[in-house]
Amino acid sequence: MMDSDSPVIRRRGGRASVVAARESEKRPRVSTIKYGIRPVEAVTAEQLERIHQASLAILREIGIEFRDETAIRQWKEAGADVQGQRVRLDGEMLMHLISKAPSRFEMTSRDPLQRFEIAPNTMTFSAMQGAPNVRDLQGVRRASTIEDLRNMNRLTQMLPGFHIAGGFTCEPTDIAVPWRHLHINHSSLVETNMPFFGLTTGKQRAEDSIAMGQIVHGKAFMDQNAVMLGHVSGNSPLVWDSTMLEGLRAFVEANQVVLLSPFVLGAANTPADIPATIAQLNAEALAALAYTQLVRPGAKMIYGQYSVSVSMRSGAPMSGMPEVTLINAVIGQLARRYGLPWRTTASQSSAKTFDAQSGYESAIAYMSGASACANLMMHAGGWDEAGLVCCMAKFVADAEQNLLIEKYAQGISFEHFDDALEAVRRIGPGGHYLGDSFTLKRFKDAFFAPEILDYLSYEQWKVKGSKDMAQRCREKAKSIIASYEQPPMDPAVREELDAFVAKRQEEISPSIA
């Protein structure tokens, strides 16, 4: 008998059953979103070149540390100037390596309808990562558990605003640290059938992540298709650590996507200056991007960066700040210069409750990324309290913002322009368009119609219980989770996946970490 955890038998290898197709019909997220706007630019072409040259000078003269034996050996073999862990790179070698990267690639999953391109002219959304706490369905802030993570994945699967599951959207703090990655990947693979973020912190976790992906998708399929991403954070200023580089190698060797993200806390680990901050983070990114191509020429990779400025009062990272919006604009300009897709942080807030601050900061971040034509809108769901909380209500609100932002990003269609001008002629001065045939035919596509944002009159809103956005979103999250159905998975595959987790748990002592 099949229970609701595995309703339909599917073959591995990414071919869809009829039921899977029906499941996916609920979500119009599958296609690639193409930018139709021309991005904001925050620097001139000449200033961009100045930043690029400054980055090259940093790598050539100061150099960068790869605190990793394998990387040091590889750089030496490639002919770089290596002294201890310090690697000095000349611009020509650097740019030659980077030129080997594909500027566009496809991601998919065991559901072939989940298929999209990541490229310098496309937009993709992924759920947040890394919160040790949730603000739960009752609005209570507490340490997150595996059941919370499963709920986040259920929401991700059901909400059309996401293309990529966050993986470790929140930490399952009820599971011993050295076992967590197993349960995180298990949930990504079982609760969703989407491309997802695996774990990259160290060789073992990364290899386990890849192995689990391969159980579900098949190794042969993954050798040909990217279904997972690995988030590789830099250690600014100018350090890449072994832990992350091991993760990088495991992902790249399995033909999966890596994201190389310098981690900028402006004025703390970069200079208190915007263009110099960019020059430094760009140097860090370029070094890691080049290294990735050294490991595997043609590896699929995304120019990353996580940037916030830091409060000089409290030392806390500040969300939604103008400097980060400017940094985004320039990173976009640089990434396009290098012909690489890039990521931003789409929705971030420092608010301690899902209030107006959370909305302001998140929307600034959304528009910051979209107006700069970011290709991966990361953390686009749930991020509050500077990433220390995954807010379930906010996750639902953000999912709708994702749809709204992707409508903006796609720009303006002139397909119906001439017909619409006929309507202007037909209606004439002083008329109205509400009953016009063109309006009836087109309004659904022409204008975005939100469900979470509320447009009732004050009186109607009061009659409906005076619910603020947080309340409405919690209710919506509950009803989505209640209606959730697990995507189909071959029971044999599921068994193999469960067995892998059990076996690795036995092998790994829970007290290692």
Tokens 């409405």 map to which residue? 472
User: Which range in 57-65, 144-152, 162-170, 337-345 contacts its own copies by CB under 8 A?
Assistant: 57-65
CA angle 218–21–29, rounded 5-degree value: 90
Check residue 59 for interaction with its own copies (CB under 8 A). Answer: no
Residue 419 lies near its own copies (rule: CB under 8 A): yes
CA atoms within 13 A on the CB side of 133: 14
144 vs 214 by CB, closer to its own copies: 144
Give the separation between CA 8 and CA 170, rounded to whole angstroms: 28
Kindly tell me which residue out of 21, 220, 356, 502 binds its own copies, with binding defined by CB under 8 A. 356
The yes or no reply on residue 267 touching its own copies (CB under 8 A) is yes
364-393 positions binding its own copies, by CB under 8 A:
364, 366-368, 371, 385-386, 388-389
Q: Any contact of residue 122 with its own copies (CB under 8 A)?
A: no
User: Is residue 394 a contact point for its own copies (CB under 8 A)?
Assistant: yes
Site for its own copies contains 263 (CB under 8 A): no
Nearer to its own copies, 2 or 446 (CB): 446
43 binds its own copies (CB under 8 A): yes
Nearest distance in Å: CB 445, its own copies: 8
**Residue 295 or residue 427: which is nearer to its own copies going by CB?**
427
Q: Which of 320, 341, 381, 487 binds its own copies (CB under 8 A)?
A: 320
Which of 25, 77, 468, 495 is the binder for its own copies (CB under 8 A)?
A: 468
Per CB under 8 A, does 465 bind its own copies?
A: no
Q: Is 123 helix (H, G, I), strand (E, B) or coil?
A: strand
Q: Which of 220, 443, 463, 492 forms a contact with its own copies (CB under 8 A)?
A: 443
Q: How far is residue 247's CA from residue 252's CA, in Å, rounded to a whole number?
A: 9
CB of 471 to its own copies, least distance (A): 9
- Kindly report the CA angle at 114 between 109 and 120, in degrees rounded to 5? 100
463 sits near its own copies (criterion: CB under 8 A)? no
Rounded to 5 degrees, φ, ψ at 268 are -105, -55
Assess 457 for contact with its own copies (CB under 8 A): yes
Residue 132 is a binding residue for its own copies (CB under 8 A): no
Q: For tokens 């189909």, what's the residue?
A: 488
> Does residue 65 belong to the site contacting its own copies (CB under 8 A)?
yes
Number of residues that bind its own copies (CB under 8 A): 131
- Contact between residue 144 and residue 382 where contact means Cβ atoms under 8 Å apart: no
Pairing of strands 86-88, 64-67: antiparallel
Determine how many CB atoms are found less than 10 A away from the CB of residue 130. 17
- Which of the ranges 117-125, 200-208, 408-416, 501-509 carries the binding residues for its own copies, by CB under 8 A? 408-416
Does position 316 interact with its own copies (CB under 8 A)? The reply is yes
Closer residue to its own copies in complex, CB, 356/499 = 356
φ, ψ (nearest 5 deg) of residue 19: -60, -40
> Which two three-digit tokens encode residue 265?
């806390």
Cα 9 to Cα 42, 487, 495: the distances in Å are 52, 10, 13
Map the footprint of its own copies across residues 268-297, applying CB under 8 A.
268-277, 279-280
Residue 288 parent element (H or E): helix 274-295
Among 429, 482, 506, 511, binds its own copies (CB under 8 A): 429
Of 263, 359, 484, 491, the one binding its own copies (CB under 8 A) is: 359
Kindly indicate which of the ranges 147-155, 164-172, 292-300, 350-358 contains the residues binding its own copies, using the contact rule CB under 8 A: 350-358
The reply on whether position 128 binds its own copies by CB under 8 A is no
* Alpha-carbon distances, residue 283 vs 63, 70, 427 (angstroms): 9, 21, 58
Calculated CA dihedral for residues 212, 120, 104, 247, nearest 10 degrees: -30
The interface with its own copies within residues 138-167 (CB under 8 A) comprises 141
Is 348:388 a contact under the CB 8 Å cutoff? no
Report, in Å, the least distance between residue 121 CB and its own copies: 14
Residues 206-235 that bind its own copies (CB under 8 A): 235
C-beta of 178 vs 320, nearer to its own copies: 320
Geometric angle at alpha carbon 269, from 268 and 273, rounded to 5°: 75
Alpha carbons 113 and 195: distance in angstroms, whole number: 11
CB of 482 to its own copies, least distance (A): 23
Strands (E), 193-274: 196-197, 228-233, 239-241, 257-261, 263-266
